[in-house]
Amino acid sequence: MGADQLPDDPQQPATRAITAGREHSGHALAPALWASSVWQSTGLADANRRATGTRSEEFYGRIANPTVSSFENAVAALEGAESSLAFASGMGAISTVVLALCSAGDHIVAQRQLYSATLAFLQGPCARFGIEVSYVDGTEPGSFAAAIRPGRTMLVIAETPSNPLLELIDLDELGALRGPIKLVDSTFATPLGQQPLAHGVDLSLHSATKGIAGHNDATLGVISGSRELLDSIWSYSVLHGATPSPFDALNALRGIRTLAVRTTQQTASALHIAETLSRHRGVAAVHYPGLHTHPQHDLAKRQMNHFGTVLTIDLAGGQPAAERVLANLRLVRVATSLGGPETIVCHARTTTHVSLTDAEAAGQGVGPGLLRISVGLEDCADLLADLTQALSPT
Ligand SMILES: *Cc1c(COP(=O)(O)O)cnc(C)c1O
């Protein structure tokens, strides 16, 4: 198992993305799709062993699946983790972790700027189940520590870079917190962009729907951490039932094979587009951790191996300007996701952040002219030509 060899594994991450997750496929170079949801046992004792084991292979699909295990092992190898656990979606991962670790009367400290469905889960179901959540500006040094209630705070939730303004959380500061479990949603960075566990964070989480699968053909989530913590989350997870589809795990494992080359090109294009649009008259602000003007650019250089495939621009002309740009784009498509081969743009205020009140949106910096751009794999010059013609139509 790739993950078990990690301490003296000399391979670079791009190589590990190729070598990891090859169990369960025999001598086939491509991963095998195990569609079966049930396996035969050899008799009573064997069935009993599998029924009472932890994450027993070849027993029942909700417990474990060989294709999913291969995907999990590949992610663990990239995250530098003892273990990974996959889910039916990123939200399946987040909701399972929260409900596995927190009970009525417990307390969570969460970053204010979070993926909108994560925020909705904390504000809705968590409140309903008596789990209290305090929100902090995670970019403010000491803010997480100050909000922790010793003995009551079970979980600290951070997201870096954050959606949609690409604010960063200092992973060293987060990892140094004592008491609660520290969870980082690392989706926007991909497992090659940063490794939260190396900074002392307990759980690194990805919506693998995004850059990991990378082709808009899988809906999947994954967490990574110590085997002990993951085994305990797994024992709740089999009851929660956000079980990943083996087919989606297969697509995501195939995505991992090309993750390094994809993110290399996408981040290079994202930086070039960010720099060029920073000089455009119609653009009031560009948010991208790779820009010198990003308030946390030094932190980005310290904790990130690349600056990510997503940038956000704020149009001087507000929503009418955003509407015009979306209508004028020819190559860039209007869609709400990130990390795929197609460059896509979404207007945050009317889609991902539509459920916020105006005051909440303003508090999060989600103005009417904000566009999130997920940079794909098209030629960068073609992308720039399309974006600039849409920003300044003739
Ligand atoms: C998409 C996303 C999620 C949710 O993942 P799903 O696979 O859509 O459930 C969580 N966090 C971040 C940062 C995301 O981009």
What atom in ligand 1 is closest to the CA of residue 208? 7
User: Which CATH number do you get for residue 175?
Assistant: 3.40.640.10
Looking at the fold, whether 42 and 182 belong to one and the same domain comes out as yes
219 CB less than 6 Å from ligand 1? yes
What total of structural domains would you count in the chain?
2
Per-residue confidence in pLDDT tens, the chain, 394 aa: 444 455 566 899 999 999 999 999 999 999 999 999 999 999 999 999 999 999 999 999 999 999 999 999 999 999 999 999 999 999 999 999 999 999 999 999 999 999 999 999 999 999 999 999 999 999 999 999 999 999 999 999 999 999 999 999 999 999 999 999 999 999 999 999 999 999 999 999 999 999 999 999 999 999 999 999 999 999 999 999 999 999 999 999 999 999 999 999 999 999 999 999 999 999 999 999 999 999 999 999 999 999 999 999 999 999 999 999 999 999 999 999 999 999 999 999 999 999 888 888 888 889 999 999 999 999 999 999 999 999 987 5
Question: Ligand 1 centroid to 133 CA: how many Å?
Answer: 20
Contacts of 215 (CB under 8 A, 6+ apart): 251, 255, 340, 341
210 CB less than 6 Å from ligand 1? yes
What atom in ligand 1 is closest to the CA of residue 93? 9
Answer yes or no: is 4 within a domain.
no
209 CB less than 6 Å from ligand 1? yes
Using the 3D structure, point to which of 231, 257, 283 is the last residue of a domain: 257
User: Which residue type sits at 187?
Assistant: T
For 341, how many CA atoms within 13 A lie in the half-sphere containing its CB?
Answer: 7
159 CB less than 6 Å from ligand 1? yes
- Whether 338 contacts 163, CB under 8 Å: no
Answer yes or no: is 187 within a domain.
yes
Looking at the fold, whether 228 and 315 belong to one and the same domain comes out as no
Looking at the fold, whether 28 and 133 belong to one and the same domain comes out as yes
For 92, how many CA atoms within 13 A lie in the half-sphere containing its CB?
Answer: 22
DSSP code for 207: E
Q: Is the pTM of this model over 0.85?
A: yes
222 CB less than 6 Å from ligand 1? no
Q: Would you tell me how many other CB atoms lie within 10 Å of the CB of residue 136?
A: 19
Answer yes or no: is 326 within a domain.
yes
Contacts of 74 (CB under 8 A, 6+ apart): 2, 17, 20, 21, 253, 256
Distance CA 293, CA 283 (A): 14
Question: Ligand 1 centroid to 351 CA: how many Å?
Answer: 14
Question: Ligand 1 centroid to 115 CA: how many Å?
Answer: 7
Looking at the fold, whether 251 and 264 belong to one and the same domain comes out as no
Question: Ligand 1 centroid to 46 CA: how many Å?
Answer: 38
Q: What angle do CA 137, 140, 141 make, to 5 degrees?
A: 135
Distance CA 191, CA 138 (A): 21
Answer yes or no: is 6 within a domain.
no
Answer yes or no: is 116 within a domain.
yes
Using the 3D structure, point to which of 212, 231, 257 is the last residue of a domain: 257
- Whether 113 contacts 168, CB under 8 Å: no
Distance CA 190, CA 307 (A): 10
Residue-number span of the structural domain to which 326 is assigned: 259-391
Looking at the fold, whether 232 and 271 belong to one and the same domain comes out as no
User: Which CATH number do you get for residue 364?
Assistant: 3.90.1150.10
